[in-house]
Amino acid sequence: MNSTEIKAIIKEQLPTIIAEDSSIRDFVLHTVSEYYHPKTEVDSKFDRILAELQRDREEETRKWEENKRQWEENNRRWEENNRRWEENNRRWEENTQRLDRHQDQIDQTLDEIKKLNKRYDSTIGALGSRWGLYSEASFRNALKGILENSFNVQVLNLNDFDDEGDVFGRPDQVEIDVIIKNGEVIVCEIKSSISKAEMYIFDRKVQFYQKRHQRQVTRKLVISPMVDNRALPVAENLGIEVYSYGEDVSGL
């Protein structure tokens, strides 16, 4: 009998033998116990695995709940920050509108001030110009009265028309103050103020007078309380005597 036949007989007869003979059954159990764990040990391992799975599940659930709580907290903070941003943006827009209104008021006030300044400047300029003309005329009349009545001097205020435009570069009226004493001719320019250009114009007036009246001018005088410093070298080069502030006009 070979091993195959023996294995076939064992498989056929073993269940009956184990059921009828307890010693055989114990022998079989003892023999196979090295290959199979007892049920209690298997159950224990299974319980441990279930416990570990339960703990893992509980930990995952705890982490999920924590993440959910953090997410809700972050979402609440985001909504709060968004609400604050909208509130700040609304206040910014209100402040911007308020500043724009204030700026418009400031601009309007500045425009009104500029208009008033222009009006005052025009008024003051007109008054200054009129005051200067009145002062020149008053001084001219006073000088004429004093010189003619006290010093036997002839004072003439001439208004000649310059046809060729020698004085101003185009034909125009030329006003000249002339003082004549014993045949000596003095041309005088009386102005509230005089600039460098006006000093050149005065010299051309003298040349115009000499050409028009065929008389040699002995002296050229400028009398003014305000003389531009740049006009003084011009006067010196042209031989014009300048009298300003409290200086005396002597030798007439």
| Domain-wise residue ranges, the chain | 3-36, 151-243
The percent of residues above 90 in pLDDT, for the chain, comes to: 24
pLDDT at 62 over 60: yes
pLDDT digits over 109-164, tens only?
Answer: 888 887 776 665 544 444 444 545 455 666 666 666 666 676 777 888 888 999 99
Is residue 228 within 8 Å of 195, Cβ to Cβ?
yes
pLDDT digits over 196-230, tens only?
Answer: 999 999 999 999 999 999 999 999 999 888 899 99
Is residue 152 within 8 Å of 182, Cβ to Cβ?
no
Q: Which of 119, 148, 140, 247 is nearest to 192 (CA)?
A: 140
| Token couple for 148 | 């003619």
What CATH fold (topology level) applies to the domain 151-243? Trna Endonuclease; Chain: A, domain 1 (3.40.1350)
First to last CA, the chain: 178
The top-scoring range by mean pLDDT among 99-103, 168-172, 182-186 is 168-172
Query: Longest C-alpha distance within the chain, in Å?
Result: 185
What integer pLDDT is reported at residue 251 of this predicted model? 45
pTM for the model stands at 0.46
Helix (H) or strand (E) holding 173: strand 172-181
Question: What is the sign of the dihedral through the CA atoms of 4, 6, 9 and 15?
Answer: negative
